[in-house]
Amino acid sequence: MSDDAASRIKEIVESNDVVLWMKGTKSMPQCGFSSRVAGVLNYMGVEYTDVNVLSDDSIRQGIKDFSDWPTIPQLYVKGEFVGGCDIITEMTLSGELDTLLEQNGVAYDKDAADKIREANG
């Protein structure tokens, strides 16, 4: 990973409370896994920064190297890597994502989170 990509990734991760590294954007995801995670965050009303890895190959590979995680999307909360699509889905359904957001002072719609669990329970 180039020093430039590493410093850009580090700056984005550290300067935003919630960051979703994804294929596409939160309003137009370009893969099913990115769409699922963005959909959860959007539905729960989480304010987050989306980074389209398809727009820059050095960032696309760089974020994988940065997190030591092989797939996109990747969710970061308060500078910490949380996981990819499967992990975020499991955390949403178990309530762990609610806890993580609460512990980090990130606002979200608890009723919306409960509705996701009801619909998938």
Binding residues for [2Fe-2S] cluster: 31
State the CB neighbour count (10 A cutoff) for residue 37.
28
Whether the per-residue pLDDT at 117 is higher than 80: the answer is yes
Task: Give pLDDT tens digits for 76-97.
Answer: 999 999 999 999 999 999 999 9
pTM of the model: 0.95
Q: What tokens appear for 24 in the block?
A: 């596409």
* 116 pLDDT tier (thresholds 50, 70, 90): very high
Query: What structural domains and CATH numbers belong to the chain?
Result: 3-120 (3.40.30.10)
Q: Which residues contact 78 (CB under 8 A, 6 or more apart)?
A: 17, 18, 104, 106
Task: Give pLDDT tens digits for 26-79.
Answer: 999 999 999 999 999 999 999 999 999 999 999 999 999 999 999 999 999 999
Binding residues: 31
